[in-house]
Structure 1
């Protein structure tokens, strides 16, 4: 009787919980609308990667645009896998939560490491980008610091760091600030400026380029993958929705529109500059044209406004490991300042925007956007382990992904080392 009574009690408790869940699901859910979620998703995918689109095509040739489309489809699919991992599991709110659901604490730790390292390198890329573009606008400007004369890109990196520094001391930065609203507008303005320069500023679209450059395809894939590294924020964006079941539609719209934007920049820039495309398209633009200044100033605004938001999760993770009584404001300021100083040192030591972004896309992008979502989905969803079309696609991703990651990482590291060795 005791066992039967226990079973009846458990059954009664389950009925009560189910009834409460049903009542809770009937309550109006607060959250963002589909339109606002689309804006957030587009902002997450519309980053500094657009600057490297012509360079990416120049590395792989015209046929590399097929790889752009393929990477977009695969990253959209793995974004859908993250959605399915969260479906019916209201306690999962973020990407690390998915890792913990699949593989426990180790899964959370691995995904967190990849997330924070990716954010760190993106923040470093911001500083390199600022230094490159400011040097293009003011090529003869120099600075004196403690009696030392600093010229060119290095001086602008330090100047940018000083401007950014006070913004890193604020702690009240929301998660959605990750995807500031200016991102999409900046991308549209940038594409428009490049098209204007080609059509009306006397340069034209005369470069034919190469059909394919086999040696540069891994660099192209790495840069394309970097452009679609929004998986770290997809779960957060989905959790913020009023109707989470609409997220697949939002994801599809975001990937279609962002791919159109990236494709336009890649085709237009490569037709204008061809094999002479630099790691940032803004470095190719004629300095005296007004459209160039608009493009560069638009490009410069975003990193300054987003840097603090990018490093906040890293700082919060460090602070969370400290005893509560030591989390004073001066300590928080020291932590954030130290992170900024370290990114400045990396930006000064490895001032190669294209190679750093290729490394980020190959090593971190492929892992965080292709491999980990597939592994987590297979672990969480047992039905996906049955042989079928879905399993074949996932196995294909798990087989191709490591090859791209290894080759892309090797090539980007080799290019960085070769440039460091040059006199």
Structure 2
């Protein structure tokens, strides 16, 4: 959400509106594909199960690696967001310094049980709503440019830079990633027949919020908007400083609290791939395992390796965030590589493999997703 105005600055009004609506529609379409497959076979429960049915057992490792890359990219983004927000609030120290200090908070949290970490999602919801309100209040309360909706900044109708357009692909698509939860969501619904109606409304709401923030932020700051619009709120004179500082403090606390929740499935998947943990048959078993008290004081080699692995992932997240400090580059990679593969290409490819035929629409969308994904990934690396 924070990077949507920058995506509009890169794509221009025409392409920006077309892309955000198109991605919302396609993501909703592929979510229905995943739900249809999972509900057609009672033996299936997860995205990996769908891949195994469509492409064979060897696909499980590939899908696990893709999910690990996506979750790792999210963890890097969370580190960058909290450090950049803290630097804007207290500019005495650099963002890199805050990232290093954050290790002292992040490492202990990755060992907390899932039952406790799940409550941190409430902070994320409150933070999102609060930031949306603050951006709208700022835009309406200020009458002069920059940062005013009454006196819009300079914007573009068309595309000014084709490499930036590739980055915009990823920035837009990153907001619609998260298809990993779709199979479990469809399976756990009281009335799965209501899934399509529910998911239609879910994507209508999400696309509307993204479009609102994108258009508002682009009108307020134009082509000079920052990678995170939250950075512009504090640096622009004329706003309610206390209100904007409160919003930025939410963007400091929320990523810090969500880091462990995000890396929990990543750490579990890595431990399974490395053979230092056994595969789990269901999310419920994972929750039970993480929440259960550990009896006995003897530390096994696997337990020690598990601790080392969690610390290593945290240190790597901070290191990559320091090496790739651009928030937009990390977001673009998340959207261009992970989101296109897991949210568009994967579901359609699974549908084609299971049905044994490919329709014209599915073929067109998959080909377009491949082009945009490759283009966006390359642009993200060049921008980094």
TM-score (norm 2): 0.86
Find the counterpart in structure 1 of residue 5 from structure 2: 54
Find the counterpart in structure 2 of residue 395 from structure 1: 363
Find the counterpart in structure 2 of residue 289 from structure 1: 241
Please show how residues 266-281 of structure 1 align to structure 2 within 5 Å. 266-281=214-229
Structure number with bigger Rg: 1
4+ long deviations beyond 3 Å: 171-174, 176-179, 181-185, 323-331
Determine if contact 2:39/2:186 at 8 Å carries over to the other structure.
no
Find the counterpart in structure 2 of residue 200 from structure 1: 141
User: Displacement of 1:318 after TM fit?
Assistant: 2.6
Determine if contact 1:178/1:309 at 8 Å carries over to the other structure.
no
Q: Distance in 2 between matches of 1:178 and 1:52?
A: 26
Would you say 1:167 and 2:141 are equivalent positions? no
Q: Distance in 2 between matches of 1:309 and 1:65?
A: 32
Find the counterpart in structure 2 of residue 137 from structure 1: 89
Q: Secondary structure, in 3 states, of the residue corresponding to 1:210?
A: coil
Find the counterpart in structure 1 of residue 311 from structure 2: 337
CA distance 1:182–1:249, change in 2 (3 Å): farther
Match of 1:118 among 48, 70, 75: 70
Would you say 1:307 and 2:259 are equivalent positions? yes
Find the counterpart in structure 2 of residue 219 from structure 1: 167
User: Displacement of 1:291 after TM fit?
Assistant: 2.2
User: Displacement of 1:323 after TM fit?
Assistant: 6.4
Determine if contact 2:88/2:231 at 8 Å carries over to the other structure.
yes
User: Displacement of 1:327 after TM fit?
Assistant: 6.4
Find the counterpart in structure 2 of residue 322 from structure 1: 276
Determine if contact 1:125/1:353 at 8 Å carries over to the other structure.
yes
Please show how residues 20-419 of structure 1 align to structure 2 within 5 Å. 50-63=1-14, 64-141=16-93, 152-173=94-115, 177=118, 180-202=121-143, 203-205=147-149, 206-213=152-159, 215=162, 216-287=164-235, 289-320=241-272, 321-322=275-276, 326=300, 328-382=302-356, 385=357, 391-416=359-384
Write the deviation string for residues 365-391 of structure 1: whole angstroms up to 9, x where unpaired.
111111011011111234xx27xxxx1
Write the deviation string for residues 193-225 of structure 1: whole angstroms up to 9, x where unpaired.
011111114542221400011523222221111
RMSD: 2.1
CA distance 1:323–1:78, change in 2 (3 Å): closer
Determine if contact 1:98/1:108 at 8 Å carries over to the other structure.
no
CA distance 1:355–1:245, change in 2 (3 Å): same
Determine if contact 2:337/2:374 at 8 Å carries over to the other structure.
yes
CA distance 1:222–1:172, change in 2 (3 Å): closer
Find the counterpart in structure 2 of residue 26 from structure 1: none
Determine if contact 2:154/2:223 at 8 Å carries over to the other structure.
no
Q: Which stretch of structure 1 is more off in the superposition, 75-84 or 290-299?
A: 290-299
Question: Which stretches in structure 2 are left out of the alignment for 5+ residues?
Answer: 279-298
User: Displacement of 1:407 after TM fit?
Assistant: 0.9
Determine if contact 1:197/1:291 at 8 Å carries over to the other structure.
no
Determine if contact 1:319/1:327 at 8 Å carries over to the other structure.
no
Q: Distance in 1 between matches of 2:119 and 2:349?
A: 26
TM-score (norm 1): 0.78
Q: Distance in 1 between matches of 2:195 and 2:123?
A: 22
CA distance 1:358–1:374, change in 2 (3 Å): same
User: Displacement of 1:191 after TM fit?
Assistant: 1.3
Q: Distance in 1 between matches of 2:89 and 2:59?
A: 45
Determine if contact 2:7/2:171 at 8 Å carries over to the other structure.
yes
Q: Secondary structure, in 3 states, of the residue corresponding to 2:128?
A: helix
Q: Distance in 2 between matches of 1:159 and 1:91?
A: 46
Q: Distance in 1 between matches of 2:277 and 2:51?
A: 25
Determine if contact 1:173/1:309 at 8 Å carries over to the other structure.
no
